[in-house]
Structure 1
């Protein structure tokens, strides 16, 4: 008897392993895009709070590309917010030249504000 058979009812190949025929299944290849810190944070959130959504992305082989997209959107929003908030607060290069510690304090506050906005708008939704 053959080790592989084809079932026309469900269009699957089966391979004999021991006494049983096991379907020959494989997942499609997923693009391997780099996922940054924002994507990793979103992954942690959906693993804990949106398990069905996470399972659907994982089984459809779309998790990595989805996380890479979320990461790119979050990074763009973060950079744009930091620039806008720094302009709004009056944080300039002249301040950096005159009082570096004050500039660092104010930029850290701006970055923390931008981080919270990104977390609330894109990461934890």
Structure 2
């Protein structure tokens, strides 16, 4: 029997009943902490951009992408708080992990 391209590339199959299913394994994704902004963006992707979410998830890049988005959003939020404090003429107060 002629080998498939998948087999030529080192892939293998498992027979279940009359079907041969490819043995697929997702690559290990580096785990980075994701804050509130990353979690909100993940929810947005799942609800409104399913193709993008699925592509990032199956390619193993979702966690890194969300961690990057979270970092950018956190920086923007901090800058916004500082700018608001400057306009109001008072220093920002840091309380319970949030600016007030």
Same fold (TM over 0.5): yes
Q: Could you say what secondary structure the match of 1:47 adopts?
A: helix
Deviation digits for residues 67-118 of structure 1, max 9, x if unmatched? 000001111111121112101210138xx8xxxxxxxxxx74xxxxxxxxxx
Q: How many residues align?
A: 91
RMSD: 2.4
Flag structure 2 segments of 5+ consecutive residues without an equivalent.
94-98
Higher Cα radius of gyration: 1
Counterparts of 1:22-37 in structure 2, within 5 Å, are 22-37=21-36
Quick check: 1:9 aligned with 2:8? no
Query: Shift in Å at residue 45 of structure 1?
Result: 1.2
Shift of 1:9: 3.0
User: What TM-score, normalized to structure 2?
Assistant: 0.75
* 2:62 paired with 1:57: no
Partner residue of 2:67? 68
Distance in 1, Cα, partners of 2:88 & 2:46:
37
Provide TM-score, normalisation by structure 1. 0.62
Question: SS state of the match for residue 22, structure 1?
Answer: strand
Give the 3-state SS of the residue equivalent to 1:74 in structure 2: helix
- Consecutive unaligned residues of structure 1, counting only runs of 5 or more, are 1-6, 97-106, 109-125
> Any residues of structure 2 matched to 1:94-113 within 5 Å, and which?
108=100
Per the alignment, residue 99 of structure 1 pairs with none
